Structure 1
């Protein structure tokens, strides 16, 4: 099958990360995160996020989100998020099911929420009839491929802290945001007052596995019980941990993020001037969003798979990944040009 543009989790495992699994697959090792690979991986996380980071490994992204949010809320509280947030649209109600808390979706522009809308929605404090706003969940980068600037984050997080709310970041592609902003992972999380991050692995070259990273030790105190009760405590934790160890060592994470983002930029340049293609904007991570005629979708997907993001407008999402090659993009652009004739 040709490399397509459906999702970065369609890609295989990065060779260096795959090698880490074989290296960890020796002899016996203690279970449930008491092994040397987990210890080394956590040390790598602390190098990237700061010495106060508390790290817990889970199996998948939805689990990372819902368990983190469970640690930040009570069932009578509310979580503010974007109307296109993954937790609101693509997790089958799991956040509300697991936390008991209510999601309040804020209107977004290109995936981003505004301070004005957050402030307007933060109402009825102390009213026993109304879910009490407790968490601001920010997706970075957003579902539409945009990235919040440092200033945008400071203002949003500042308001949340002023209102005594916790801040969660859905960071399944957080490495790509760091690459776009040219900042460290610590500079776009802990240094801004973020309380917890769902940090992605699967979309970034890992076989499977994500991490929940807390910067607020008090909130992390009971997380080990939440993780176990949610069926997310890996017995053979070393096989998740070793992948993250390889991911961070020798700045592999930056190489993967930079490549994914540069390929999105290359894709944008290759398709933006093709008649019939209307690109939303210059990519700010590893996604290109573009509208095309509905009649193009089927023949194009027969050659290169991708998803239609909005079936009403036929806006499509084209994702790049660690293994995307220029020749993949050249072939895709050639197929689009052929359809445009």
Structure 2
């Protein structure tokens, strides 16, 4: 077989590799160390559907971060991870309490309800964070046969609004839920960013805080594709492997998901990448605060910055650097940084922001 390093391709680069934006950390490419890991796993044959040596070793990698009871189930994407996890944690008559801003409620096209067959009970929050008191707005009626039964609390770390739960806040939620016979799911698409903010190991605000199951993100932190369902409390789930297949989340060539997570988590790549993205968001927020007419509206505790600015300014600025509206009626926009965002990227964006604000 030919040397893989000498292989050519008929594909054509169809984008400008120098183009930068602040719309999503999903816009970034793959980290070079992840690409190297994929090449390492590529040659030869391995058993399909997760019976490969990389997926087997991944159990050990995750247990090193989350404790000896952890079980990991690689899947294709974050919505799949959430749907599989929540299905495994609920009965057919079950409901999940979440923040109204939660990804499972806002950005998954009804998949938890339509595919997972469960009911979402949502509550308004400040900066996207649930509290025990807020949970109790929907955690009731267990004897009422007319009401979907609250069985799971789902939180997001970091939240969709960029805020970060402390370990004490997560422990209070878990204790509160467990006292009511409920379990806790954590959507961790940016869990590494939370660890970087808190300066703590991953298990300190997950396993040790009482979380039962989490969705662990990789795509937003330098992977090409792939997320994982991590079961921290095996007693909280049932039929995980069957539900993963039923939900179309069982990869045939799973080694290519697993080896990416091995590269991400065996050393400190996960923390280096998340720390850098967070630092670039802080730089962006600090610069934007100095621009008259721009307001930062949520805590900058991850790689997200939420700001308000005039509509016409946002429209002009977006033609130079892509980003998304968050609440169009309020003039609220979201700026995201990634592992490959540079100081020059941020400073160039801030210069454009100042220029457009100056035009009125």
Conservation of the 8 A alpha-carbon contact between 1:3 and 1:304: yes
Corresponding residue of 1:260: 277
Shift of 1:54: 0.5
Residue correspondence of structure 1 range 153-192 to structure 2 within 5 A:
153-192=170-209
* Distance apart, 1:120 and its partner CA: 3.1
Quick one: distance in 2 between partners of 1:228 and 1:154? 32
- Counterparts of 2:53 and 2:111, CA distance in 1: 33
1:95-125 per-residue CA deviation (whole Å, 9 max, x = no partner) reads 0112222100011111112221212322212
- Deviation digits for residues 46-86 of structure 1 (CA, Å, limit 9, x no counterpart): 11111110000100000000000000001211100000000
Aligned position for 1:279: 296
Q: Corresponding residue for 1:74? A: 91
1:123-176 Cα shifts (integer Å, max 9, x gaps):
212111111110000011110000111221111111101101010000000110
For residues 289 and 185 of structure 1, the distance between their equivalents in structure 2, rounded to whole angstroms, comes to: 25
Partner of 1:339: 356
Q: RMSD over aligned Cα, in angstroms?
A: 1.1
**Deviation of residue 300 (structure 1)?**
0.6
- Match of residue 12 from structure 2: none
Pick from 296, 304, 313 the counterpart of residue 321 of structure 2. Answer: 304
**How much does 1:220 deviate?**
4.4
Q: Tell me what 2:227 maps to.
A: 210
Could you tell me how far apart the structure 1 residues matched to 2:297 and 2:176 are? 29
Tell me, yes or no, if structure 1 residue 196 matches structure 2 residue 213.
yes
Find the residue that maps to 1:133 and give its secondary structure: strand
Determine helix, strand or coil for the equivalent of 2:245: helix
Q: Given the alignment of the two structures, is residue 41 of structure 1 paired with residue 58 of structure 2, yes or no?
A: yes
| Matches for 1:1-341 after TM superposition, within 5 Å | 1=16, 2-341=19-358
Partners of 1:192 and 1:308 in 2: how far apart? Answer: 34
After TM superposition, the score normalised by the length of structure 1 is 0.98
Contact 2:325/2:332 (8 A) holds in 1: yes
Equivalent pair of 1:264/1:286 in contact (CA under 8 Å): yes
Give the TM-score of the pair, scaled to structure 2. 0.93
CA distance in 2, matches of 1:186, 1:117: 25
Structure 1, unmatched stretches of 5+, are none
Partners of 1:113 and 1:282 in 2: how far apart? 15
Q: Give, in angstroms, the shift of residue 29 of structure 1.
A: 0.6
Cα displacement (A) at 1:249: 2.1
**Alignment check: 8 A CA contact 1:17 1:247 kept:** yes
Structure 1 residue runs of 4 or more that deviate by more than 6 Å after TM superposition = none
CA contact (8 A) 2:161 2:298 kept: no
2:127/2:163 contact within 8 Å kept: yes
Residues 162 and 299, structure 2, Cα contact 8 Å, conserved in 1: no
Preserved contact between residue 268 and residue 282 of structure 1 (Cα < 8 Å): no
8 Å CA contact retained: 1:54, 1:220: no
Q: Offset at 1:221?
A: 4.7
